[in-house]
Amino acid sequence: MASIDQPALSPTTRAIGYRFRLLYGHFSIQLMTLILLVATVYTALHWEPLFLLLIPAGIGGQMLTEYSIHRHIFHLPPPRNQRLFDLLYLCHYGHHDFPTNTKLFFVPIWFMLPVLVAGFLIYWAIFALLGFDSALPMAVAFVFVGHVLTFLGYEWYHMTAHLNIRKFAPEVAVTRRHNIHHFKDFTRMFHVSYGGQIIDRAMGTAIDPDTRERLSRSEFIRTLGMKPDDPRLIRARDRFAGKLGLSERQIQSARR
């Protein structure tokens, strides 16, 4: 029997498929998606008109959280203690050190999950103290739907910004802004999600187009101002080389 030729996939379809495979190859994304699905069903079963405000509010809240964590936690001055430095390296320093390493694209689940649970408990308590009978469903809608949905969007945009593949217009815009943060000035342009430039402008960390064109690479930009051969960086690279799939050539190159 003659075989039937399958139609070739378009470059855009292949690019989208690759992104989904990469995204859902990480346990953190799988778990966050499961949380979102369960929370969405729970919210639907306990639906109230107020949720039409709470979910968008949760989206806005996560946009602010994304900026705050990136700027004030992930860009903390490098700790002298090696254990603390290693944690920060896995959270973010390593991503600047090796910006194309796919294992460093995503926020570690051991960091994000406690942040998420803590936020949920805080808002549950606030809604309960305000006297709402539906404080639990309200907190679920606000955090586990609004926040998690936006977090997954962030992970998609951030991953896409670091991939050399066909992109849609919003993704191209995010990539251009994020490249400034990585390769021009790591003290600016902290927001990644589409539309987040509004927060950078409000917080004074945006860069206008004219200034952007005049920027030169900051010294030691890929190590956030640390010397590339700083002993803390060397120990972190050696410790996580296997976990991150780093070759000896990559490690030696990073020291220069």
State percent of the chain over pLDDT 70: 95
What is the pLDDT, as a whole number, of residue 1? 45
Would you say residue 5 has pLDDT above 60? no
- Helix 109-129 vs helix 148-161: angle between axes, to the nearest 10 degrees? 150
Q: In 13-165, at which residue ranges do the beta strands (DSSP E only) sit?
A: none
Give dist(CA 41, CA 58) in Å, integer: 17
Contacts of 39 (CB under 8 A, 6+ apart): 140, 141, 144, 145, 148
- Note every long-range contact of 30-37, with CB atoms under 8 Å and residues 24 or more positions apart, other chains counting: 31/109, 31/113, 32/112, 32/148, 32/151, 32/152, 32/155, 33/152, 35/116, 35/144, 35/148, 36/144, 36/145, 36/148, 36/149, 36/152
Q: What is the pLDDT of residues 140-197, one digit of tens each?
A: 999 999 999 999 999 999 999 999 999 999 999 999 999 999 999 999 999 999 999 9
